[in-house]
């Protein structure tokens, strides 16, 4: 069933676990995420990035998600990841998304607040949750590139003020994670995360979680992280499986036999993350 992101965030906050948010670009990725959620009896967030929307088209993304949610017995939220403008959010509202993220992190503080507030005014009356971002998460995700020099950590006092003034349902924080593949082990700023969690009750979101050691994820969740974004690890599982088929069976031309193993590999990644995040058996 399709539910509001707000419902998922609040249940997770109460239960002290996090729900995985996985990026979808095509049917196989979507099916592997939903099948893992069903197998684990876990709530799940499926989301389309800017590149994902461009690749599949908003109608396909919304249509596939609706069909998946109708068939599934677990709670599913459909989110736009790193929404870039108010207009894009309105489009997502019209297409039946149940969660939106507006990423105003590149804007000055007051402008980020104003944009996020404007988004809540259109999303909340429609029962749609709003995630915002404060501080700048580094790395590369599709067209969104934030260099290590431009990445800035979230200020705890600003986070509290931001949450109160915008009435957002979840806040993405920059505490040392980055989008894409890590070169070296990421170091999370747990003191900052603890400070943020002391100053505000707003559910928190961890982006760039692919490649973050399990131990660090486990340590972060009790500070109020309710949503954890995973994209790169799905891409890697998909690509590795397809390459393996191409190497081992160079004459294979059946798309189902080429993409089937990729689906299985992504299923395993999602399933493992759900267990790690503590969302298994929470549906």
Rounded to the nearest angstrom, the gap between the alpha carbon of residue 256 and the centroid of all alpha carbons in its chain is 27
Residue 131, interface with ligand G3H (CB under 6 A)? no
Scanning 105-113, 149-157, 207-215, 261-269 for contacts with ligand G3H by CB under 6 A, the matching segment is: 207-215
Residue 180, interface with ligand G3H (CB under 6 A)? yes
Q: Which of the residues are catalytic?
A: 81
Other CB atoms within 10 A of residue 71 CB: 10
Residue 179, interface with ligand G3H (CB under 6 A)? yes
Residue 207, interface with ligand G3H (CB under 6 A)? yes
| Burial of residue 222 (number of CB atoms within 10 Å: 0-12, 13-18, 19+) | middle
Closest approach, Cβ 5 to ligand G3H, in A, equals: 14
227 is in the binding site of which of ligand G3H, Zn ion, none (Cβ under 5 to 8 A by kind)? Answer: none
Q: In sequence order, what are the beta bridge partners of 178?
A: 138
Show the binding pattern over residues 228-267: x = contacts ligand G3H (CB under 6 A), - = does not: -xxxx-----------------------------------
Sheet holding 144-146, edge to edge: 144-146, 138-141, 178-179
Using the rule CB under 5 A, which residue among 192, 207, 227, 235 binds Zn ion?
207
| Burial of residue 14 (number of CB atoms within 10 Å: 0-12, 13-18, 19+) | exposed
Q: Which of 178, 267, 207, 166 is nearest to 79 (CA)?
A: 207
Residue 192, interface with Zn ion (CB under 5 A)? no
Q: Torsion over CA of 264, 3, 12 and 101, rounded to 10 degrees?
A: 90
Residue 226, interface with ligand G3H (CB under 6 A)? no
Q: Which residues contact Zn ion (rule: CB under 5 A)?
A: 207
The contact set with ligand G3H (CB under 6 A) reads 81-82, 141, 179-180, 207-210, 229-232
């Amino acid at each position: 069933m399709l539910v509001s992101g707000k419902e998922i965030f609040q249940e997770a906050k109460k239960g002290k676990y996090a729900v995985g948010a996985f990026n979808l670009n095509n049917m196989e990725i979507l099916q592997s995420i939903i099948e893992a959620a069903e197998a684990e009896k876990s709530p799940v967030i499926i989301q389309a990035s800017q590149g994902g929307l461009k690749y599949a088209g908003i109608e396909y993304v919304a249509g596939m998600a609706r069909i998946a949610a109708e068939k599934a017995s677990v709670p599913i939220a459909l989110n736009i990841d790193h929404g870039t403008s108010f207009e894009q959010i309105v489009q997502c509202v019209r297409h039946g998304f149940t969660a939106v993220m507006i990423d105003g992190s590149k804007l000055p503080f007051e402008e980020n607040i104003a944009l996020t507030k404007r988004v809540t005014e259109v999303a909340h009356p429609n029962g749609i949750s709003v995630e915002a971002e404060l501080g700048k998460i580094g790395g590369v995700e599709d067209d969104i590139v934030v260099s290590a020099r431009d990445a800035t950590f979230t200020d705890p006092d600003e986070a509290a003020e931001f949450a109160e003034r915008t009435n957002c349902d979840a806040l993405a924080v920059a505490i040392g994670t980055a989008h894409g593949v890590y070169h070296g082990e990421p170091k999370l700023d747990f003191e900052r995360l603890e400070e943020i969690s002391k100053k505000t009750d707003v559910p928190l979101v961890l982006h760039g979680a692919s490649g973050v050691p399990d131990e660090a994820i486990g340590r972060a969740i009790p500070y109020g992280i309710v949503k954890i974004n995973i994209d790169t690890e799905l891409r890697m599982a998909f690509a590795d499986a397809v390459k393996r088929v191409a190497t081992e069976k160079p004459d294979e031309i059946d798309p189902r036999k080429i993409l089937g193993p990729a689906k299985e590999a992504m299923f395993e990644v999602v399933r493992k993350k759900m267990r790690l995040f503590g969302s298994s058996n929470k549906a």
